[in-house]
């Protein structure tokens, strides 16, 4: 599966952004989908995941209550709604697809190219 992320940009602290990721292929619904991010000069970290049918979600503590992950299997898309953004949310955000599920980078088999999110203070 090929993934294409979009929606990043520059926003002031307290603002919102919505990231989208579109997948190619006809097996999108068979993958757990996740979002990761990589802050400047730091390791890539888990942000959120959504189960194959969208019924279950899981978030990193740092974004819980502010970010919402969702998917539309009919449109082969997964989204990340980010509210109450903070400067520490600044990072390149990646969508990823997993055949197994999990929060580790190694759990994910396919990655999008990343989209930059910058939050100014």
Q: For 21-38, what is each residue's pLDDT tens digit?
A: 999 987 999 999 999 999
pLDDT at position 25: 80
Other C-beta atoms within 10 Å of 73: how many? 16
How many Cα atoms are found within 13 Å in the side-chain-facing hemisphere of 43? 4
Contact 84, 21 (CB under 8 A): no
Instruction: Give the mean pLDDT of 114-118.
Output: 97
7 φ/ψ sector (left φ>0, alpha ψ -120 to 50, else beta): left
pLDDT at position 28: 95
**What average pLDDT does the structure give for the chain?**
96
Digit-coded pLDDT (tens) for 6-17:
999 999 999 999
Residue 35's φ and ψ, nearest 5 degrees, are -120, 135
């Amino acid at each position: 599966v090929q993934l294409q992320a979009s929606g990043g940009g520059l926003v002031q602290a307290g603002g919102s952004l919505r990231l989208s990721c579109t997948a190619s292929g006809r097996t999108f619904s068979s993958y757990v989908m996740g979002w990761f991010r990589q802050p400047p000069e730091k390791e890539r970290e888990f942000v959120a995941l959504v189960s194959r049918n969208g019924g279950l979600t899981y978030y990193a503590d740092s974004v819980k209550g502010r970010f919402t992950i969702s998917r539309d299997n009919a449109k082969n898309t997964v989204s990340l709604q980010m509210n109450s953004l903070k400067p520490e949310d600044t990072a390149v955000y990646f969508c990823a697809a997993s055949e197994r599920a999990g929060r580790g980078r190694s759990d994910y088999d396919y990655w999008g190219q990343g989209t930059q999110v910058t939050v100014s203070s």
